[in-house]
Amino acid sequence: MKKKDFDIIVQLVANQLVGFLMEDYGMPMLEAFDKTYNSQIFHKLQDKNTGLYRRSAAYTYEYLKKELPEIHHA
């Protein structure tokens, strides 16, 4: 896979994660971007070797929610 294609996939998944946070928790957009892009899950998503980019955004979102304790029990 070309790097450009990989980067597009990562960005699409990340944008979906941001949307999920906004919709599910009423989180402001900038906060949702901050939480997503500064998460360990996003860093794993950017690592081709994890294969996380091959999973659905919904699958990845479940891990993101577990990583963010302030929303995990919300």
Instruction: Write out the two tokens for 59.
Output: 């699958």
1 pLDDT more than 70? yes
The residues near 36 (Cβ < 8 Å, ≥ 6 apart) are 14, 17, 18, 21, 42, 64
Q: What pLDDT is attached to residue 72?
A: 54
Contact, 64 vs 39, CB < 8 A? Answer: yes
pLDDT digits (tens, 9 = 90+) for 19-50: 999 999 999 999 999 999 999 999 999 999 99
Instruction: Write out the two tokens for 56.
Output: 């659905």
71 pLDDT more than 60? yes
